[in-house]
Amino acid sequence: MIPRSKKLTRDEAKSHNQRLVLRLIYQHGEFSRADIARASGLTRTTASAVVSELMEQGLVQEIGQGPSAGGKPPTLLQVRPDARHLIGVDLAGTTLEGAVFDLRGRAVHRASVEFDLNRNQDALEQVLDLLDRLVVEASQPLLGIGIGLPGLINSQLGVVYHALSLGWPQLALGDILRQRYQVPVYLVNDSQGAALAEYTFAREENIHDMAVILVAQGVSAGIILNGQLYRGRLHSGASEIGHLRVMEEGFPCVCGHEGCLETIVGERAVLQGARTIYARRPDSALGRLVRRSEEITMATVAEAYRQGDPPVMALGAEMSYYLGIAAANLHAVLNVPRIVLAGGVAGFGDSFAAAVEAQIRERTLPWLADRVKVRPSTLDDDTVELGAAAVLLANELGVV
Ligand SMILES: [Zn+2]
């Protein structure tokens, strides 16, 4: 932020104008120089000069003429999707995943590595291995690396605190990665990344307030209010709903309490439930899917749920009931019109989301509950990676 009391220096004004113009073109998809002048308040001459600078940097291109409003038809401009590449990484699940994206969030290359803390693997080694493989695949100038990870982090300092699923009590991950790859590096809490991704890449008209519940190994929520990510006061631990106690006398949780939401709907709990179903009912739809793929993943459980496999439907009903309690709490506090389910549960589809929504209606003030819609994420498994990439778009280019 530029302090109001200080006059803009020429360079600052230039950079401010460049970010403003680039953001307008990015957000509108196609925009003319006259549109930019109208929307930004810059003079036509300044707007044209800034466009020329952005074209010289290869960020913006002319894509032909738009409809005439009487006079000469305007030349339309677009942000070149492949002007830069960005790397987004998701360290939230049982597999560490990453992708090289273009500026529109399209994956041009993917990579993943298995990680098992119980087998004494070093998470940092695995992350470096993953990034080494991704960095060489970026064929355009690399804007930077975004890392989405569970746990508490200081995104400004690039320090991770309490990422217990990765075996990191405290780690200056940002510094380590900046030194190794010599590009900007940003860390983002995984559910906050998921919220940014939904808001940036799955944008719904007139929706500027939403909560995104990410179900991975842990369960947490990212919150967008007035189009801005709510970061929370302490170490980006904005909404750790996974440790809400939703069941009296439930299973013990890693946090030291029992009956936490995570012990019922977290990936580990769901896969454990599915393994029990498979052992008892190998003839079920889940059994057939597992024999085909030789393992039980969240994707196979979700597929069995969508096929209506009775024991998996029962498992899903319990999950949606308890997830619904947490969603109702979120809604009661935030009164957001949209709640998005991301991570492993997104694959359970619309009827699962509707069951969560039904719990909100059961548990909150009726005339506010009527306005909330719960939907699954449409970003497939990419939500956290895309969120990490969105942080780069926001910080390095200022376009989101
Ligand atoms: Zn807990």
Give the per-residue pLDDT at 261.
96
CB count in 10 Å sphere of residue 19: 15
Whether residue 218 is found in the same domain as residue 327: yes
Whether residue 136 is found in the same domain as residue 248: no
CA of 248 to the centre of ligand 1 (A): 13
pTM passes above 0.85? yes
CA of 15 to the centre of ligand 1 (A): 45
Catalogue the E-assigned strands of the chain: 31-32, 60-65, 75-79, 85-90, 95-101, 107-114, 142-149, 152-154, 159-163, 168-171, 185-189, 210-215, 219-225, 228-230, 338-343, 373-376
CA of 195 to the centre of ligand 1 (A): 22
Give the per-residue pLDDT at 292.
83
Whether residue 7 is contained in a domain is answered as no
CA of 216 to the centre of ligand 1 (A): 14
Whether residue 183 is found in the same domain as residue 296: no
Give the per-residue pLDDT at 62.
96
At position 343, the amino acid (one-letter code) is G
CA of 30 to the centre of ligand 1 (A): 47
Whether residue 105 is found in the same domain as residue 175: yes
Whether residue 270 is found in the same domain as residue 124: no
Whether residue 305 is found in the same domain as residue 183: no
User: What is the C-alpha separation between 329 and 332, in angstroms, rounded?
Assistant: 5
Both structure tokens of 155: 């995104």
CA of 244 to the centre of ligand 1 (A): 7
Residue 310 domain boundaries: 204-377
Write the CATH number for 29: 1.10.10.10
Look at the chain and report how many structural domains it folds into: 3
The DSSP call for residue 258 is B
CA of 265 to the centre of ligand 1 (A): 12
Whether residue 3 is contained in a domain is answered as no
Whether residue 110 is contained in a domain is answered as yes
CA of 193 to the centre of ligand 1 (A): 21
- Domain ends where: 24, 58, 79? 79
Whether residue 91 is found in the same domain as residue 215: no
Whether residue 35 is contained in a domain is answered as yes
Write the CATH number for 98: 3.30.420.40
Whether residue 184 is contained in a domain is answered as yes
* SS3 at position 169: strand
Both structure tokens of 377: 């994420």
The DSSP call for residue 237 is -
At position 258, the amino acid (one-letter code) is E
Length of the chain: 400
Give the per-residue pLDDT at 30.
93
At position 295, the amino acid (one-letter code) is E
CA of 246 to the centre of ligand 1 (A): 10
Whether residue 4 is contained in a domain is answered as no
pLDDT (tens place) for every residue of the chain, 400 residues total: 444 445 667 777 778 999 999 999 999 999 999 999 999 999 999 999 999 999 999 999 999 998 887 888 999 999 999 999 999 999 987 789 999 999 999 999 999 998 877 777 788 999 999 999 999 999 999 999 999 998 788 877 888 887 777 888 889 999 999 999 999 999 998 999 999 999 999 989 899 999 999 998 889 999 999 998 887 765 555 578 999 999 998 999 988 999 999 999 999 999 999 999 999 998 899 999 988 877 899 999 999 999 999 999 999 999 999 999 999 999 999 999 999 999 999 999 999 999 999 999 999 998 888 889 999 999 978 899 999 999 999 999 988 8
CA of 49 to the centre of ligand 1 (A): 55
For tokens 């009827």, the residue is: 351
For tokens 């497939």, the residue is: 380
The DSSP call for residue 252 is B
